[in-house]
Amino acid sequence: MLAVYYDLCKHYGFEVTPRWWELETLLDRENHRAKILWDVPISTDEDIVARRPDVFLQDKMNSHLYLIEMAVAWDSIQEERRAEKQPKYWELCADLRRQFRGYRMDVVPVVIGGLGTVTHCLVKDLRCLPTAGKAVSQMEGMQRSVLCSSVRILRGHLSACELAA
């Protein structure tokens, strides 16, 4: 997910590091072009439970809101996880439509398998974002990141098993 966040920050003119994996994830970034929230509850008029997407993007120049939700799922249930993401934010979308009249809105589910596998929908979903031209490189960065994390988890588990034996 950090690869997507990095490309969005760069696209909207925020200061970034030379490499995406070194970027500090600030909770709130805002300039005249955009506002990006990283894992921050969104203020709502209603009492809404699901109001904390992984990334909230307000594209001020194009009057467009994006709710980006990331998940790493078992490879066999990626489609199920993707299908769960959109309805999860329906209430929040309705509230945001009242707050941001005239804005278009997209909920963008980004689901990747625990072994780095992706479904045919991932690139299509990433192409909904303003950084559409970077969709394939974003997907590859996420695959690498997920695989590295899975290897770290596996090594930790195997080390714990060796100690217990």
Residues 149-164 have pLDDT tens digits of: 777 777 877 777 776 6
Whether the predicted pLDDT of 49 surpasses 80: yes
Average pLDDT score over residue span 33-43? 91
Give residue 31's pLDDT: 94
pTM for the model stands at 0.79
Please state, for a pLDDT cut of 70, what percent of the chain lies above it: 90
**Predicted confidence band at 121 (pLDDT cuts at 50, 70, 90)?**
confident
Average pLDDT score over residue span 42-61? 89
Whether the predicted pLDDT of 37 surpasses 80: yes
Average pLDDT score over residue span 10-17? 87
Domain ranges of the chain: 2-164
Q: Which helix (H) or strand (E) holds 91?
A: helix 90-99
Q: Which of 19, 17, 100 is nearest to 58 (CA)?
A: 100
Tell me the CA distances in angstroms from 18 to 21, 22, 120, 146, one per residue in order. 9, 8, 30, 21
Please state, for a pLDDT cut of 90, what percent of the chain lies above it: 21
Q: Which of 4, 20, 2 is nearest to 128 (CA)?
A: 4
In 3-state terms the chain splits into helix, strand, coil percentages (rounded to 5) of 45, 20, 35
pLDDT tens per residue across span 138-151: 667 777 777 777 77
pLDDT tens per residue across span 66-118: 999 988 878 788 788 888 887 888 889 889 999 999 999 999 888 888 777 77
Mean pLDDT of the chain: 82
Tell me the CA distances in angstroms from 32 to 35, 53, 61, one per residue in order. 8, 22, 8
DSSP states of 94-142: HHHHHHSTT-EEEEEEEEEETTS---THHHHHHTTSTTGGGHHHHHHHH
